[in-house]
């Protein structure tokens, strides 16, 4: 004994009653997959806590901790020293394990949780004992129960005791794979990667669909989307990315459709294509990064015109978000710097000078008849590229 482990506190899962098993299984699966390339770990769950224990010297605990911080379903995580259930050993371990911090701070308190009710001391007694020992060892310290610089936590559990400092906030959400599967339309912009992250946060497995129009859109623009998805997949797990070539379709729309409706027409074709792919991939919904009123194609009327071509639900997790809120999230998931790289998107080529902000459905349907939509869509869907996105080595 005497090794260091990571303790993960489960979130909403704990409330899911009958489904609890499914939730825990999905969570453990996500964790194990992510930890593979950080060394050999045992991952097990007992009473709303997951234990991540290194099984070999070379297992990288720091890396494991970073990975765990991005797993949905976990509300808090902390590295902890595992120690025998012996009060003397516990207090010695507390002094040793937290030495560096204890030397730097001036006040602390000890909090204890005892789930092993057979342990001969009650929580307040354990706290008092450990506190007294730390005061003796570090005479510069004082106890402050209201605003301590550090809370020393002791947990006495069935299998052993643990000592650690404050738990850090986890990724929240619910484990990916428990909320169904959705196809998210992904561009190189700020919004859609954040929307993808938010869908995954609610347990949804993602398939990503990207429309490219080479040579108007470049290889770099495509690569940008791949890099964005890699960031998202640190949270969302493996993502299948499907790239659809929209060049011919866009040229036809540009050449033959009423100019001020071309944006909404393009978006209708995007959703049609996405729905077909989504069905083949076993998805039950689509998702986009739209936010109400952000641009001409994101008015309620324009959204109604695009949604009219699909029967699957289209989720828009950012519909009520301000740009500043989206930016904040993009910093948080580290997609911001990639998103602002200046590459073109198929939505930004051939843009009309005055897109109609309140398109009327039957005019849009009429305007669309100028091209062989069905034929072009079939061709586009015959010409797709697939790749698996996963940020780690294995």
Q: State the binding string over 242-271 for ligand ATP (x if CB under 6 A, else -).
A: ----------------------------x-
Q: Is the CB of 127 or the CB of 187 nearer to Mg ion?
A: 187
Helices (H), the chain: 20-35, 61-68, 87-97, 99-104, 123-137, 191-201, 219-236, 247-256, 262-280, 300-307, 323-332, 336-339, 361-368, 373-382
Alpha-carbon distance of 191 to 104, in angstroms, equals: 42
Residue among 333, 5, 30 nearest 174 (CA)? 30
What region does 233 belong to: left with phi over 0, alpha with psi -120 to 50, or beta? alpha
Segment interacting with ligand ATP, rule: CB under 6 A, options 4-12, 33-41, 129-137, 288-296: 288-296
Q: Which helix (H) or strand (E) holds 154?
A: strand 150-156
Q: Is the CB of 178 or the CB of 339 nearer to ligand ATP?
A: 339
Segment interacting with ligand ATP, rule: CB under 6 A, options 65-73, 102-110, 294-302, 361-369: 294-302
**How far apart are CB 208 and ligand ATP at their closest, in Å?**
8
Q: Per rule CB under 6 A, is residue 290 in the interface with ligand ATP?
A: yes
Q: Is the CB of 82 or the CB of 330 nearer to ligand ATP?
A: 330
Q: Which of residues 338-357 bind Mg ion (CB under 5 A)?
A: 345
**How far apart are CB 379 and ligand ATP at their closest, in Å?**
17
Chain-centroid distance of CA 232 in Å reads 6
Q: Is the CB of 108 or the CB of 269 nearer to ligand ATP?
A: 269
Task: Give how far Cα 362 sits from Cα of 56, 262, 302, 305, 368, Å.
Answer: 66, 14, 12, 9, 10
Alpha-carbon distance of 206 to 180, in angstroms, equals: 9
Alpha-carbon distance of 252 to 257, in angstroms, equals: 8
Q: Per rule CB under 5 A, is residue 189 in the interface with Mg ion?
A: yes
Q: Per rule CB under 6 A, is residue 187 in the interface with ligand ATP?
A: yes
**How far apart are CB 381 and ligand ATP at their closest, in Å?**
14
Q: Which of residues 195-214 bind ligand ATP (CB under 6 A)?
A: 209-211
Q: Per rule CB under 6 A, is residue 70 in the interface with ligand ATP?
A: no
Q: Is the CB of 192 or the CB of 233 nearer to Mg ion?
A: 192
**How far apart are CB 360 and ligand ATP at their closest, in Å?**
19
- Among all chains, which residue has been given the structure tokens 């001409």? 296
From ligand ATP, Mg ion, none, which one binds at residue 50 (CB under 5 to 8 Å depending on kind)? none
| SS3 assignment, position 352 | coil
Enter the tokens of residue 341.
């790289």
Q: Give the number of C-alpha atoms closer than 13 A to the C-alpha of residue 76, restricted to the C-beta side.
A: 10
Q: Per rule CB under 6 A, is residue 338 in the interface with ligand ATP?
A: no
Measured at CB, which residue is nearest to ligand ATP? 189
Residue among 374, 13, 382 nearest 171 (CA)? 13
Q: State the binding string over 128-167 for ligand ATP (x if CB under 6 A, else -).
A: ----------------------------------------
Q: Per rule CB under 6 A, is residue 335 in the interface with ligand ATP?
A: no
From Mg ion, ligand ATP, none, which one binds at residue 35 (CB under 5 to 8 Å depending on kind)? none
From ligand ATP, Mg ion, none, which one binds at residue 173 (CB under 5 to 8 Å depending on kind)? none
**How far apart are CB 361 and ligand ATP at their closest, in Å?**
19
Name the maximum alpha-carbon separation found in the chain: 85
Alpha-carbon distance of 191 to 340, in angstroms, equals: 11
Strand partners, 112: 154
Q: Per rule CB under 6 A, is residue 321 in the interface with ligand ATP?
A: no
**What residues contact 162, with CB distance under 8 A and at least 6 apart?**
5, 7, 80, 81, 82, 83, 154, 155
**How far apart are CB 217 and ligand ATP at their closest, in Å?**
8
Angle (CA) 206 208 213, round 5°: 175
**What residues contact 353, with CB distance under 8 A and at least 6 apart?**
259
The size of the interface with ligand ATP (CB under 6 A), counted in residues, is 20
Q: Which helix (H) or strand (E) holds 142?
A: strand 142-143
Q: Per rule CB under 6 A, is residue 346 in the interface with ligand ATP?
A: yes
Residues found near ligand ATP in the complex (CB under 6 A): 185-187, 189-192, 209-211, 270, 288-290, 294-295, 297, 345-347
Binding-site ranges for Mg ion (CB under 5 A)? 187, 189, 345
């Amino acid at each position: 004994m005497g090794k260091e482990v990571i303790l993960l506190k489960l979130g909403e899962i704990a409330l899911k009653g009958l489904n609890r098993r499914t939730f825990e299984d999905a969570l453990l699966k996500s964790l194990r997959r992510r930890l593979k390339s950080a060394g050999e770990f045992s991952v097990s769950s007992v009473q709303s806590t997951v234990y991540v224990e290194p099984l070999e010297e070379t297992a990288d605990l720091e890396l494991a901790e970073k990975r765990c911080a991005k797993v949905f379903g976990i509300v808090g995580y902390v590295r902890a020293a595992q120690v025998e259930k012996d009060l003397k050993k516990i207090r010695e371990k507390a002094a040793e394990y937290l030495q560096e911090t204890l030397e730097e701070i001036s006040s602390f308190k000890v909090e204890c949780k005892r789930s092993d009710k057979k342990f001969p001391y009650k929580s307040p007694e354990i706290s008092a004992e450990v506190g007294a020992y730390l005061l003796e060892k570090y005479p510069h310290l004082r106890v402050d129960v209201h605003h301590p610089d550090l809370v020393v936590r002791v947990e006495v559990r069935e299998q052993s005791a643990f000592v650690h400092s404050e738990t850090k906030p986890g990724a929240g959400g619910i484990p990916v794979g428990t909320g169904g599967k959705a196809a998210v339309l992904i561009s190189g912009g700020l919004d859609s990667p954040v929307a993808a992250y938010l869908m995954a946060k609610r347990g949804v497995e993602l398939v990503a669909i990207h429309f490219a129009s080479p040579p108007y859109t470049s290889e770099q623009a495509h690569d940008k989307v791949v890099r964005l998805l890699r960031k998202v997949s640190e949270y969302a797990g493996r993502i299948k990315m499907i790239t659809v070539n929209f060049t011919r379709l866009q040229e036809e729309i540009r050449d033959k459709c009423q100019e001020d409706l071309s944006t909404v027409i393009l978006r209708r074709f995007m959703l049609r294509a996405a729905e077909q792919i989504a069905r083949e991939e076993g998805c039950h919904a689509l998702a986009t990064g739209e936010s109400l009123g952000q641009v001409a194609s994101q008015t309620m009327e324009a959204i109604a015109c695009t949604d009219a071509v699909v029967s699957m639900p289209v989720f828009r997790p950012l519909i009520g978000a301000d740009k500043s809120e989206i930016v904040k999230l993009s910093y948080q998931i580290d997609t911001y710097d990639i998103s602002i790289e200046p590459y073109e998107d198929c939505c930004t080529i051939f843009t009309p000078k005055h897109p109609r902000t309140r398109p009327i459905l039957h005019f849009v349907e009429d305007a669309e008849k100028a091209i062989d939509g069905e034929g072009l869509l079939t061709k586009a869907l015959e010409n797709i590229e697939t790749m698996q996105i996963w940020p780690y080595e294995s």
